[in-house]
Structure 1
Amino acid sequence: MSYPIDWQRTLQSNMAATGGKSVLFVCLGNICRSPIAEAVFQKLVTDAGTVDKWFIDSGATSDWNTGSSPDSRGLDCLKSHGIETSHRARQVTKEDFMNFEYILCMDDSNMSELKRKAKSVSNYSAKIELLGSYDPQKQLIIKDPYYGSQEDFETVYEQCVRCCKVFLENNS
């Protein structure tokens, strides 16, 4: 779910005051991998009873899909696992580097672009990492399923579940 920047600042201030945490999941277009990761993590913290302790969102390094719903194949995959999302694609902003504690991206290209953008933000506080760095199966890269099949979306889902579980365990 995306929020206006002012709302993010207010929420982040409140989260910091109460010991809350925040994570932004990022991929190229914010219609495949990152909204799946966002929805998976939202479900995990909801099931764990800690949803009120987290601010969770996703974004894109590009502006290609701004305002678009996630890819229908990703939505179908999530739905088959009992997860719904109403996310709309958005591009990562300079404020995100200050408002989020963690920015977790899907591949090396996302990482390079985020680090490039972070250079324009003085004293940013976000930890920029590959989501795959939390994978117990050591699959660092979560490949873009856009040009693939429904099975590729399922693979992304499974990777996101593994990684998000470990990330949550490490940050509880």
Structure 2
Amino acid sequence: MATSKSVLFVCLGNICRSPIAEAVFRKQATDKGVANDWRIDSAATSTYEIGNPPDHRGLACMKRHAVPMRHVARQVTQDDFQSYDYMLCMDESNLSDLNKKASKVKNCKAKVELLGSYDPQKVLIIRDPYYGSDQDFETVYEQCVRCCNAFLEANS
């Protein structure tokens, strides 16, 4: 059966927050038996990290939580706006960049939103942990778990 829904998680470089969100969402969808209903990926608004693997601190955090994560950073493409149902980003800067790009795309199908808009604890922004500590990656993970779970519930 073909996938019926699609979500693209987006952050600045696609090595910290968005691959964590992608991995968390994929595991939640798998655990609920609905992974085959979804096309799931992540991407960057910038070109900084294209081709790079996820940040080692994010990988370590995912390993601690037994969440598989394999990803190579890529930039959001024009096609993404036409082929994904949802583009869920991490902060106002990502949101602004995506909305600018979306306005130039014909037949933009993607609903561009902050992933944090799904947080039951109402923490809207998922801060970039790149210049932070292991605890900052843990915080991103916890936010992604809450938000992705709520997003999945809302779209089941």
Letter in 1 for 2:129: P
2:26 to 19, 42, 46: 42
The gaps in structure 2 that reach 5 residues or longer are none
SS for the counterpart of 1:95 is: helix
Report the equivalent of 1:32: 16
Matched pairs, number: 156
- Structure 1: which 5+ runs fail to align? 1-10
Segment of structure 1 superposing worse, 118-127 or 147-156: 118-127
Partner of 1:74: 58
Post-superposition shift, 1:131?
0.1
Partner of 1:61: 45
Confirm or deny that 1:89 pairs with 2:67. Answer: no
Letter in 1 for 2:7: V
Q: C-alpha root-mean-square deviation of aligned residues, in Å?
A: 1.0
Query: Deviation string for 1:116-139 (max 9, x for gaps)?
Result: 111110120100000000000000
TM-score (norm 2): 0.98
1:141 is the counterpart of 2:117? no
User: Per-residue deviation at 1:83?
Assistant: 1.1
- The aligned residue for residue 101 of structure 1 is 85
The offset of 1:25, in angstroms, is 0.1
Q: After TM superposition, which residue ranges in structure 1, 4 or more long, deviate above 6 angstroms?
A: none
**Aligned partner letter, 1:43:** K
Aligned-partner Cα distance in 2 for 1:157–1:86: 15
Larger deviation: 150-159 or 78-87?
78-87
